[in-house]
Each structure stands twice: as structure tokens, then as C-alpha cells.
Structure 1
Amino acid sequence: MHDRRSFMKLGAGVAAAGAMLPLTASAKCAEDDVSWDGEYEVVIIGSGFAGLAAAVEAKHKGAKDVVIFEKMGVYGGNSTLNAGQACFAGTDLQKKLGIKDSADLMVKDQLKSGRGVASESLLRHSAELGPYVYQMTKDCGCVYRDFIITTGGTSATRSHQVVERSGSGFIQPMLKTARKMGVETQIRHKFEHLIHDKKGRVIGVNIRKGYHFGFEDSGELINIKAKRGVIIATGGFGYNISLRQAQDPTLTAEVGCTNAKGATGDGLIEMLAAGATPVHLAHIQSGPWASPDEGGFGYGAGFSLYNFPHSIAIDRNTGQRFMNEIADRKTRADLELQRRDQNGNPNPALLIAPKHEAKNDPSMAKVLKYNVAWEFDSVEAIAKHFDVPLQPLKQQIADWNSYVDKGEDPQFGKRMNAGRGIKLTAPFIVQRLWPKVHYCQGGIQINTKAEVLAAKTGKPIPGLFAAGEVTGGIHGVSRLGGCSTPECLAFGVTAARSIMEA
């Protein structure tokens, strides 16, 4: 990219003939009026799953010039912070393990979780692309474990996990592959505005080069031309407390957040200003696997995700279970938030796992090392430490083990085959549970071509595509665990295909 020495300052606009045209998110101008500082076939904003998948696929489709702009000082955003899981249906690994699954079954599970407002067409598009993006990630160098994880709300075991057990296991190989293919990558480049021509087509972006998070006036403004179009993959707005609380007043600062601090909704806000259709902004999901004893996503999430199928979550006031530990996320998070003491203050539930099984996952060592979970040799020790009624807790554990024997959970209807016959016996590993804001189901509306739809017309905004958490309406009220990664990848691929066909 050719950099100009004289960059535009904050508040300046696009250099026009004899004048300065103020630049806003809805600015329209003749292409000849813009002073461009660089030019690419495909411009991608955001370096997470969706952005990297779009970059790799665009190169596969023959794009000569592709650039990724990332506002933070590191690549990956929220995508690096998850547990490295992705739900795919019909993979070779599932077949090897004797797991029967299909895109139809995956869509059915997601529609149920979406509570009537999820988009069947978008979910189906993502699910059917699953095997392709699964193979694409492997071709990029992502390495999956031989073990597939059971996530909440699913009727088949389908969550494939990379060996790093972190989103970085996707991000680093995909970033390396994109660069090898010739994709240019830039950090500390914050997307400010879209640039349109007089007919409304997106022809470029206004970028703040040299941006440092938290210093909104830092850096200098440049204009980048996008010959084919722009793909927005900037993620959600979970760390924008005022914005999320405006949509859902219950999501105060009392509820933590697993997101990277850069998840402030920049791309969403700019597309809305440009006339994109908002959808489901109030549907914001909290992760029921989070721990209040650490910041961000943490190690506790991985521990919970592994152990939920064969463990129990109990209310400290009663010593009894209060939920199906592998129900969908919203069901569990809502129930966990109801665990309060007599004064109405949070009284986080306890996840009690058997050490003989928990030790088979690397997360156990981490949660013990960092005081996110604790080991106890007896039920009595748990009850004393957490002030839990002893006899009800003993009875609950005995009842649970009888459910394991019978293969049926009469309390909450938990799918017992997910636990593989594992009983809850001493010693125990115990972690506290308290939800954290994790994912925004709401965003801007797209179609199955990843085209951004205009609120005024319902038609695509020419030259503008989006993928990942910045989009909305796909999952509905609640998103199933492990389903954002494949969706981000699938619609990143779709956006690249669409932009190359435009």
C-alpha cells in the first residue's frame, strides 16, 4: 500500500475540487472527488474468524489485492478468547466416532434455541457450509482434538475443538495462511466511516491509521478505495456497557463480560448510520459457564464446558440442582442469575465435578492453579466451605448417581448419554458459576449472500458485505454453544464469494 505523507486530520473530510467535503458515515461523493491513500480489490475490517475466512476465500477466488484492517494492537479480537470450539455436522471425525448428525438436525436444534425468531435460511446456509469451512481450517493448519464435545441444547455431539482449546488455534494458522497467500494485514487501523459514491454504492472506507485504543483522536485519517467492495467483520458490542444496557437494562456493570475490550460495536454503529437494518439488538447472551473468580473468558469456561455433561450445578441455599446443566445458554444463564442470598445479592451456584473425570481435561490444572476452582475430599468439606445444607447436598449427589445408573434424569430431563455413565464421587473439583455477557445475537441484517440490507428499501447496499457477530437475526433469542465460530467462518467465506462475483 502506498502511504501519503499528508494525512487528513480529525474533522477533515474528503478532498474535493476546490473544497473539503465533510465525511460522515452516509457521505456520498463522486469517485473523482476523493483523495485516495490506498486501493485494494477487497477491503476487510476486522481480523477475527469472519475476517480471516473472508481473506483466505477471497484469495482462493482469485482476488489480487486483499487487506485486513484491525483496530487493536493484536489480531483476532474476540475470536482468540473463546474455547476453540466449532459445531460442525457430518464431519469425518463424527463418522469415525460413530456420531450420527446432519445439517438438518443442527438447524433444528438452533431453531429451538432461537425461540421462534431465528433465521432458518441463514442457519441452514451456515450449517451446510460447515464441512467446507471445517476442511478449510484444517488446510490452513488448524489441528483438532480427536474428542468431540457435547454443548448445551444439542441433540448430537458436534463441537469440534482445536488442540489449543482456544480461538487462537484458529486465528494463528489462518492469519499465517492469509499472509502466505498475499493478504496485507494492518493493526492499529480503526474503521471510521464508509465512503459511498453518488449512487449509494460503497466504494471505500475512512480509516484512522496509528490508532491506539482508548485514545479516540489518535492517529491520522486516510481513505482506502475498495474496487470490489467492503466486508465488515468487526464483532459485537458486549464491552459497550451503555449500548448493551440500552438494549437490555438488566445487563449492568454487575454482569461481567468475556469479550475483548475492543468489542464496542464500531462497525455496527457505522453501518446503522449508513442506513443498514438493525435486527434483534436486545438479544444479548450471557455465558452460563463463566466464573466470578476471574476476569474475562478465563479458564473456568473451559472447565465448565468439559464437565457440565457429567456434573451437577447446585444452589448454595438449598444444596439442590436447579437446572439441566446442558440446556441452552439462555435457560442456564437466566437461572444462574436468580441465585441470590436473602438480601438479593449474587450467591453464585456451584458446579461440582468428579476429579476422576475432570483431570482428563487440561483445564482442571489451570482452574486449581489460579483459584478459580477448589478440590475437596468429601461432601462435608464442600458444605462447610460454601455454607451449603449438608443433608440435601448428600441426597442430591446420591440421587444424581442413581440417575446415571438408570440413564434418565427425572429432575430436569438432562440427556444422560452425554455423561457417558460417569458417577459423581470424591474427590470433587468445585467451581462457582455466574454468567458474563458473551455474545450479541443482534446486529445488522444480511441475506444468504452476506449482503447488508438497507432499512429503507430492504435491498442490499451495493458494495457492502458483513459477517460474524456484527450481523444479527441469525440465532434468535439464544445461540447454542460452539455455533458462532462456524457461522463466522461460513459467512466470511460467503462474503468473499459474493464480493468476487459482484
Structure 2
Amino acid sequence: MQSARRKFLRDASLLGGAILLGSGERLGAEDIRWDEYCDVLVVGSGFAGCAAACEAIDAGAKTIMIDKMPVLGGNSAINGGAFAIVGSPQQKARNVADNYESYVADLLKAGRGMNDVSLLEVIAKNGYAAYKFSVDKGVIYRDALGQFGGHSVPRTIWPEINSGSKITIPLQRYAKNKGAIIRTNTIFDDLILNAKGEVIGAKIRHDYEFKFDPNIDESENKSGQSKYYRVYGGVVMASGGFSYDVKFRQELVANITPDLDCTNHYGATAYALKALMKNGVATRHLDQIQLGPWGSPDERGFGIAPVFAIPAFSYGIAVDVRTGKRFMNELADRKERSDAIIKIHKNPDGSLSHPVVICDSVAATGTTKANVYRGLEKGVIKRFDTIKELALHYGIPYEGLKKSVDDYNSYVANGKDLEFNKPLFKLNGISVNISKPPFYAWRALPKVHHTMGGVVIDTQAQVQSQSGGSIAGLYAAGEAVGGPHGASRLGSAAIPDCLVFGRIAGANAAKRSRELRA
């Protein structure tokens, strides 16, 4: 390994004396005193960042992964762990017929045709390899298969516990054991470009102290000490979305008001995105912000309702508390369901009501007993011995609710939902209606969940410039990217997106370093 002095001299001669920060500040090569050298710098430690770090370190690249938060994992660590792929062992064991074309078609339909099909095809065709990659790195998946709303067949699997941390932690452990440097409280401030516009480093801050305030722009936080990293291969932006950047998201979409709760961790802001935009990075779909239809007003953040919603929406019904009637296909895509819930949430007189989702004890076995217990303990899920008792508790007209339940049970018996054409499928070989007490229910209210917009990449995860063409040395993956999901992402499609393009970004950044060093 070259000494820092020799590296500095070589860099100075290669850079031609001109270095540009995204802020517009120009420095001479002699003004940069590099604090650290690496082949690959990964910004973000969620699914995409972890996949990139693992691939880079496996390729022999000196790899640094940073995260501005005091703990690793970002949104991925609090994600439910749902992972949709074609050809999983769980599908094969249940003789589920699936194919890449169907996968892409489902995501295109949910995205209202706005998706970048070239990126979707990469995700679909490489999802199984990403699953296998995670298994090889120590992730354990349980023998369960689910069908999320908008998917045409069951293709969703989960790690041993319904938590994304059961994926991120093994990947982080693997990367660290292989020699990757992983730092928390370290924020990305800017790219460093040479005279040709190529990324040759990054300005970051050590000892950064994140402070959440939805009314203050994160750029006002000046904590930490600035450092300069010389990066030979590439910077991988796996910095996530901006769902919790209340001010920024409302500038983009006025009706996503500050009172709407959010499922994300507090660090999901647009700070990194804005830094990239100052560098002339191309973006798209920034105004496409998704609400999760499985949120509950009875808890903050992601909570337990989304986990229980999987069997409740699959084998139960959602009803309007004012009438007891169903009002949507409970397995439609997220946008369709969220729009339907919001529509009946606001009453004509300005008051608010919350739809109620109902299922029975057989449906509740579609998740773990621990999840049901947690929901009951928190008061988010309620348990009732009879439908009449449930109706009384929520103030639902009993006759209206009873008719909805009876009608749904007849649809299950006949295998056809005559009202909303909801897919009806079995749970462990059993047709599930709403008849076996106790009955479970929870109140629904969508929450801000995912930002589909971000930087533009090609199929090699290379970030594109506003002026056209790729920016050498800059890669991106995961929710930081705009394009794969169009207007709305299907549930359980985030993990394959992140892992697939995280792997591609990490591998290509490491490859570039090898080529430049040759």
C-alpha cells in the first residue's frame, strides 16, 4: 500500500490542479489534504448499502461504509423484512407458478406505467440471486410464503423474524469481518470532482449528531468535524429516501400534510439528495410519495399494524365504520388502498372516521403469535368474542357489518369476490372466511412510507448527469434512486430492489478501482 504522501503526489498530478465541491467552491489540488483513502465509499447502511459493501469487500476493495445516524440500518432495520422474488424455495415447495414477466407486469401496473422497465427487469431477473447472496452471508429465512397486495401470485418471503434487521445485521457482520470499515455518526456532505467532472472523493463529517426537527432543514446542523476521503473506485449512494423530511416532501406534494404520520426512521431526509442535486445529478419522480395503507392511528411510526395487516387484509375485510360496508379490494396495490381509505376517512362535515379491518382467529395464524400478542398488548389490535361485540365497540351499524361478513363468507365459499374481485387463496391449505372466534380488528389510516423519486441510474447503477451521460465514479442503489417503482411501489419489492442494485453498485465501484490502479 502506498504511503499517504505518495498518494497525495500522484493525485495532485492526475487532477490537474482543479477540484470542485458540489457547493460550487473550487480548490486547487494542493489545497486538499486527504484524511483517508479507500477504493469504495458506501453512504448508507441499509439493504442497499450493506449489499454494496459486501460485494466491494469480496472484490478485494478497501471499503468504508458510513451512516449519519448513531445506529446502523436506517429504514431497512425497521422494515418488516418482506422480500418478493421469483423462484424461491418457498414457491417451489408450494408449486406456485411464477415468472419474471409476471413480476415486471405487476410492478408496472402498480407504478401506473411510469416505471423504468430496464431497471425493473434487472430486479426481477436478479432477485433470486440476491436472495441466495443473502443466505450465503448468513441470513435465515423461514418457511412461509405470502401474497402482498398488487402481486398476481404469492411470492413474498420473510427472514426468521419479520424484521429487516435480520437481513442487515448479518450483512454488516459479514462485511466487517472481511475488513470493511463501518462508521456511524458520519454524514456525507459533498462530492469532490476533478476537472473532468469525475468523482474522486467525498467531503464528510465525523462525530455528527443528528437532531430531528421537522421544521428545521438538516443543513443547519453544523455538528462534527469535516474530513476528506480520497475514493479511487466510486462513491455508492445508498442514502435512502426522504419520507420524514416534512418540509421537503410538502414542497413537492402539498396535500401530504405535516399531520400525516410516517413509518420511517427520523433520519430519512433529503440532505444527501440535495447535495447530489447541487452536483448536477439527474433526478426523477420526486413528487411520487407513497402512503402505506396498513398504518394505524393508534400507534406512532411503523408499529405492529403493518405486520398484522398481512393476514388481516389477505383473509379479512375492511369496512366503513359509518355503514359497515366494504369499500375496496383489500389486496389492491398500496396506492389504490390508501386513496380509498383517505376518501372515506374525511367526512363531509369535516369530522374524521377510521375504517376498521376485521379477520378471525384462523386468519390471525397467518402471522406469529408474538405479533398478535404485541398488537393486543399495545392496544392497536382488539379481540372480540362476537361480531356484534366488535360492531358495538367501534360504533359500526351491526346489520350492515353482519351483511358484509356474510357476503364475504359466501364469496370465499364460491371462490369469487363478487364486489371487488379480491384474490381469494388458502392459508395452509384452508379456505379462510370470517367465522371462527375470537375476531380481531384494528383501525386503519395511511402513513407516509416510501419516496419513489430519487437520482437517475442506468442498469449498471451508474448515476446520470442532468446534462446527459453517466457521472464517472458515482453509483446509487435503493430508495435513493428514482425510476424502478414509478408512481407507487408494490409491497415487498423494496428489498430485492435494494439488494440487486446494491450488489451491482458495489461490484462496479470495486471494478473501476482495479482498472484505474492497473
TM-score by length of structure 2 reads: 0.91
d(CA) in 2 for partners of 1:315 and 1:418? 25
Deviates more, 1:481-490 or 1:33-42: 33-42
Deviation, 1:61, is 2.2
Give the counterpart of 1:157 among 137, 154, 158. Answer: 154
What is the SS of the residue equivalent to 2:68? Answer: coil
What amino acid does structure 2 have at the position aligned with 1:467? A
Which residue of structure 1 aligns with residue 40 of structure 2? 42
d(CA) in 2 for partners of 1:410 and 1:27? 64
Which residue of structure 2 aligns with residue 86 of structure 1? 83
Deviation, 1:59, is 1.8
Which residue of structure 2 aligns with residue 445 of structure 1? 456
Which residue of structure 1 aligns with residue 214 of structure 2? none
What amino acid does structure 1 have at the position aligned with 2:380? V
What amino acid does structure 1 have at the position aligned with 2:45? S
d(CA) in 2 for partners of 1:21 and 1:61? 29
1:192 aligns with 2:198: no
1:433 aligns with 2:448: no
d(CA) in 2 for partners of 1:159 and 1:466? 25
Which residue of structure 2 aligns with residue 141 of structure 1? 138
1:385 aligns with 2:361: no
What is the SS of the residue equivalent to 1:338? Answer: helix
- Map 1:1-12; keep pairs closer than 5 Å: none
- The question of whether the paired residues in 1 share the 8 Å contact of 2:18 and 2:28 is answered with no
Given the superposition, is the C-alpha separation of residues 47 and 26 from structure 1 closer, same or farther in structure 2, using an over 3 Å criterion? Answer: farther
Count of matched residue positions in the alignment of Structure 1 and Structure 2? 486
d(CA) in 1 for partners of 2:333 and 2:426? 14
Given the superposition, is the C-alpha separation of residues 359 and 415 from structure 1 closer, same or farther in structure 2, using an over 3 Å criterion? Answer: closer
- Per-residue CA deviation, residues 272-308 of structure 1 (Å, 9 max, x unaligned), is 1110111001110011111111111001110002321
Given the superposition, is the C-alpha separation of residues 463 and 418 from structure 1 closer, same or farther in structure 2, using an over 3 Å criterion? Answer: farther
Which residue of structure 1 aligns with residue 10 of structure 2? none
Deviation, 1:470, is 0.7
- The question of whether the paired residues in 1 share the 8 Å contact of 2:187 and 2:208 is answered with yes
- Map 1:35-434; keep pairs closer than 5 Å: 35-63=33-61, 65-214=62-211, 216-339=221-344, 340-362=346-368, 363-417=371-425, 420-425=430-435, 426-434=437-445
- Per-residue CA deviation, residues 94-123 of structure 1 (Å, 9 max, x unaligned), is 112211112221111111111111111100
1:455 aligns with 2:460: no
Which residue of structure 2 aligns with residue 7 of structure 1? none
Given the superposition, is the C-alpha separation of residues 360 and 102 from structure 1 closer, same or farther in structure 2, using an over 3 Å criterion? Answer: closer
What amino acid does structure 1 have at the position aligned with 2:79? N
Unpaired segments of 5 or more residues in structure 2? 5-16, 212-219, 513-518
d(CA) in 1 for partners of 2:414 and 2:320? 24
What is the SS of the residue equivalent to 1:469? Answer: helix
- The question of whether the paired residues in 1 share the 8 Å contact of 2:205 and 2:225 is answered with yes
Given the superposition, is the C-alpha separation of residues 345 and 224 from structure 1 closer, same or farther in structure 2, using an over 3 Å criterion? Answer: farther
Deviation, 1:471, is 0.6
d(CA) in 1 for partners of 2:406 and 2:263? 34
d(CA) in 1 for partners of 2:165 and 2:26? 39
Deviation, 1:60, is 2.1
Which residue of structure 2 aligns with residue 11 of structure 1? none
- The question of whether the paired residues in 2 share the 8 Å contact of 1:467 and 1:488 is answered with yes
- Per-residue CA deviation, residues 410-433 of structure 1 (Å, 9 max, x unaligned), is 100101126651010232111011
d(CA) in 1 for partners of 2:93 and 2:26? 55
TM-score by length of structure 1 reads: 0.93
Once superposed, what is the RMSD of the aligned Cα atoms? 2.0
What is the SS of the residue equivalent to 2:76? Answer: helix
- The question of whether the paired residues in 2 share the 8 Å contact of 1:308 and 1:325 is answered with yes
- Per-residue CA deviation, residues 75-101 of structure 1 (Å, 9 max, x unaligned), is 000001111111011123311221111
What is the SS of the residue equivalent to 1:417? Answer: coil
What is the percent sequence identity of the aligned residues?
37
d(CA) in 1 for partners of 2:20 and 2:178? 37
Unpaired segments of 5 or more residues in structure 1? 5-18
- The question of whether the paired residues in 2 share the 8 Å contact of 1:26 and 1:194 is answered with no
Which residue of structure 1 aligns with residue 508 of structure 2? 498
Deviation, 1:409, is 0.3
